[in-house]
Amino acid sequence: MNERSWERAGAISGLVAAVLLLLSLLLNPLSPPSDEPVLTFFYVAANRATILLAALALTLAAVVFLWFVGHLRHLLQRAEGGAEAFSPVVFGAGVSLATMTMLSVLPVTTLVSLSNNVASASQSIVFVLAELHRLSLGGLGLLVALFAATAGAAMTRGELLAPWLGWFGLGVGLIGLIAGVTSFYMPSGFVAVAALVTGIVFALWVGAASVLMVYRPEVDRAPAAGTAFAH
């Protein structure tokens, strides 16, 4: 495969990750408040198949997203001429985001397993697992903010894609920051809605970026920005 083909493959990985993320969010958009363990338990017991499918789609999205993150690092390293300005942060934030996403699925899948055995599922255990999932949403929001803001900043400088997409990314980063910070203070119902909105706009942004990369690989575009650090 030549450079153009590899770039298209990397871009397609981002599109696949965005579609899987949207699928996961639409399959299981909102769950009962984490401070109501009885409602949470019966919700999980009644929707086991859907919740597991959503968890699987989210896990696959995180795995495929890792390829997309590696693709972005390659593009930014080339655009920055070895200055290593945004590319390390984008790569680190992307890997951390994918890892945190996979970890956030564990409390939910554990709840599904518990729902198969009513005798072993006390209210305390259900509450703890639901709270762990809720708290993980805060970390996800903050990582979305870091990834989208740094990648968006690189786009606004002309290192990648189009400036308008960079401003879109900065907006996504702001939404993620708000969702992440408020998750530590607001009720679980608000946190769930904020996480849903963050996930949807993030998926749309990644999907839009991927489509542009497929349509016009960055190897075809002349570098528009100099190195990020002056010597």
pTM: 0.88
For position 225, what pLDDT does the model report? 44
For position 165, what pLDDT does the model report? 94
The Cα–Cα gap between 176 and 180 comes to 6
Residue 183 has pLDDT above 60, yes or no: yes
Residue 227 has pLDDT above 70, yes or no: no
Residue 169 has pLDDT above 90, yes or no: yes
pLDDT band at 148 (very low <50, low <70, confident <90, very high): very high
Which three-class secondary structure state does DSSP give residue 222? coil
Residue 226 has pLDDT above 60, yes or no: no
The Cα–Cα gap between 172 and 157 comes to 17
Q: What's the average model confidence in pLDDT over 74-100?
A: 89
- Which of 58, 62, 64 has its CA nearest to residue 29? 58
For position 103, what pLDDT does the model report? 94
For position 97, what pLDDT does the model report? 97
**The two structure tokens encoding residue 79:** 């655009």
For position 120, what pLDDT does the model report? 61
**The two structure tokens encoding residue 45:** 């017991």
Query: CA of 169: how far to CAs of 20, 34, 87, in Å?
Result: 19, 30, 15
Residue 25 has pLDDT above 70, yes or no: yes
Mean pLDDT of the chain: 87
The Cα–Cα gap between 133 and 145 comes to 19
